[in-house]
Amino acid sequence: TEVLNTVNQQMFGDAMPELRLDKSSLILSFGADFLGTWISPVHFAGQFSQFRSSPERGTLIQIESKMSLTGANADMWVAARPGSEGILALAIANSLLSDKKQLTTTALPQDVIELVKKYDINYAAKVTGISDKTILRITNAIATRMANDKSCLALAGAPVEGQEQGFASVAAIQLL
């Protein structure tokens, strides 16, 4: 979690921001096995229970290279090539930014917007091994919740941190 803490400190000013799974309507987890081994499984299991039992039952999308306990409980489990998660996160961000009615870009620095624009869904599909249709399904699920003022939470787990490009991948996921 050292990489995650460093990215969080740099991006949010807090190495360990409070994660509220129970307040989200969609969780997009990139290898964060929060029900099994990640940070505090007992704590997160309680929040996940509330996430699932809310009137609008939350949706969990788990992206990882091998099935985890959290993945087994996901509404949508997606296998991705190890090391490709950051590219997928940037392609999702690009798709969300391209949909002008869904998201305003005024809060993002121009250099970040230009970086994100370099990663499209077709490129991500080639690199990750995930079909473009699946990436679009994920993006549309996020966009639908955002259009209805629902909160979405993206998580970066230990498998993402432990890669050669771990820092950049975690930062891309936290950007979402």
pLDDT digits (tens, 9 = 90+) for 71-101: 999 999 999 999 999 999 999 999 998 875 5
Between 71-85, 96-110, 142-156, the lowest mean confidence (pLDDT) is in 96-110
| Confidence grade of residue 103 (pLDDT, cut at 50, 70, 90) | low
**Among candidate residues 80, 70, 68, 83, the one with its CA nearest the CA of residue 138:** 80
CA-to-CA distance for 15 and 53, rounded, in angstroms?
A: 29
The model's pTM is 0.94
